[in-house]
Amino acid sequence: MKKVPWILLNSLAVLLVAGVAAGLLWSSDPSGPARPEGDSGARTADNGPGRIISLAPSITEVLFALGLGDRVVGVTRYCDFPPEALTVPRVGGYLDVNYEAALGREPDLVVLLREHEEARERFERFGIEVMAVDHSKVDGILGSIESIAQRCGIREEGIFLRRKLVERIDRIRGAIALSTPRPLAPSSSPSTRDPRPTVMVAVGRSLESGAAGEVFVSGRDGFYDDLIRLAGGVNAYADDTLKLPALSAEGISRLDPDVIIEMVPDVHDPSAGDRMAERWKSIPALEAAVEGRVHVLGGDYVVVPGPRFVLLLEDMARLIHPNLQWDRIIR
C-alpha cells in the first residue's frame, strides 16, 4: 500500500470529523433547529454554557441543528454549514487549532471529537471545560446529539432531533426489508450468496497516474460502512484491518462490487459527475462500470458525519435499490 498524499490525508481527517420550520426540516434537511411542537425556543441564562467553540464541521452542524447557533462563538475554517456558521469567528483548523484565537473567544465549553486528544489536554490545562463526542459511526452521531443537548440544557430538543433522524432511518430500512429476501442461514448451501448488493464507497484518489489511480475506499469499521448496511447493502471490502484502504485497479477488479459510489464533495454539475463515473470504465472487467452502476455523489454533506448523514443515507438507498419507489418512501 502506498503512502496517502498529505492533502488527501488532511481532507480525510476532516471527514472523520439553520433556521427553517419543522415541516420543511423533516421533508428535506435535518440540520435546522430541532424543537418539539409548542416550544417557542426561548432560552434562559441557566440553560448551560453560553459560549461554545466547535472543533469540527460535524459538531458545528449538530449545534446549529439543535438551535444553539447563537451560543457558538468559534469554529474551524472548515465549518461552512449552515450558512450562518460562516459568520462565526475562526479558531484554526481541524488539526491546527489556533489556541490564542480560541481562548480570546472566552469559551465556556469546547466541543471536539474523541480523536482531538492534544486539543482536549491543552484546553483542560487552560481550565476550559471540554466535551468529546464520537462521530465515527451513526450511533455515535445520534448519541452526541442527545449528549450535547443535555449538556446545554435543552434535553427535549436533543430527543426530538434524534427521534426524527431515527424515523427516517427506519423508513428506509423497513422499505428495503420488505423488498429483499432474508440472507440465508449459516447451514444453507455455501454456493448461494447473500442477496444484498455488494457496495464499494470511494472517498478519494491518490495523485499518481494509472488506469484510475489508487482509490481510497471505506473499510469495515466506520461511518460509510454503517451507511452501506443501513441502505441495504454489504461492504464489498471484507478486510477489517484498515479504515480507509487504498486499492489499485487490480484490487478493485478483484472485489468486483455490484455498486460503486464515489463521494466527491461540492460537485454539483451532473456532467462533471458523469465524467468522473466514466473513468471507472478504464478498469478491466469491472461490471459495475460497464452496466452503469457507478455513481458520483456531490454536495458537502457527503463527507461530513453530522446530522445530515440521513440525506446521504437516502441517496445511497436510492442508488443501491433503484427499483423501489423512493418518491413514496422518502417524503
**What pLDDT, in 10s, does the model give residues 132-156?**
999 999 999 999 999 999 999 999 9
Which residues neighbour 312 within 8 Å (Cβ) at sequence distance 6 or greater? Answer: 227, 297, 301, 302
**Of 98, 141, 162, 150, nearest to 227 (Cα)?**
141
* Residues 319 and 228 reside in one and the same domain: yes
In sequence order, the 6+-apart residues with CB closer than 8 A to the CB of 25 are: 31, 32, 34, 164
Q: Residues 6 or more apart from 166 whose CB is under 8 A from it? A: 142
Same domain, 161 and 37: yes
What's the pLDDT score for residue 33? 58
Exposed/middle/buried for residue 150 (C-beta within 10 Å: 0-12, 13-18, 19+)? middle
CATH of residue 315's domain is 3.40.50.1980
In a domain, 251, yes or no: yes
Based on the fold, state whether residues 157 and 284 are members of the same structural domain. no
| Whether residues 164 and 43 fall in one domain | yes
233 and 295 fall within a common domain: yes
Phi and psi for 274 in degrees, rounded to 5?
Answer: -65, -40
Query: CA 174, CA 169: separation in Å to the nearest integer?
Result: 9
Percent of the chain with pLDDT over 90: 59
In total, how many domains does the chain have? 2
In a domain, 183, yes or no: no
Residues 280 and 240 in one domain: yes
* Domain housing 324: 196-329
* pLDDT at site 296: 92
Q: What is the pLDDT of residues 255-285, one digit of tens each?
A: 999 999 999 887 777 777 778 888 898 888 8
Please give the grid coordinates belonging to residue 124. 483542560
pTM of the model: 0.83
User: Among residues 67, 49, 62, which one has the least CA distance to residue 152?
Assistant: 49
Looking at the structure, tell me whether residues 230 and 168 fall in a common domain. Answer: no
In-domain check, residue 64: yes
Burial label, 322 (beta-carbon count in 10 A; 0-12, 13-18, 19+): exposed
Instruction: Identify whether residues 210 and 87 lie together within a single domain.
Output: no
Asked if residue 1 is part of any domain, the answer here is no
Query: Is there a single domain that holds both residue 127 and residue 232?
Result: no
114 and 30 assigned to the same domain: yes
The answer to whether position 96 is within a domain reads yes
Residue 228 inside a domain? The answer is: yes
Residues 160 and 225 in one domain: no
Q: How high is the pLDDT of residue 190?
A: 52
Residues in the chain: 331
Top-confidence range, 14-18, 19-23, 141-145, 270-274: 141-145
The yes-or-no verdict on residue 110 having pLDDT over 50 is yes
Q: What is the pLDDT of residue 153?
A: 96
Cis peptide, bond prior to residue 265, ω within 30 of zero: no
Q: Tell me which of 144, 174, 204 is where a domain ends.
A: 174
Kindly report, residue by residue over 212-269, the tens digit of the pLDDT.
568 999 988 789 999 999 999 999 998 876 778 889 889 999 999 999 999 988 777 7
How far apart (Å, rounded) are the C-alpha atoms in residues 157 and 251? 46
Please check the confidence at residue 99 and state whether its pLDDT lies above 50. yes
* Same domain as 305, residue 203: yes
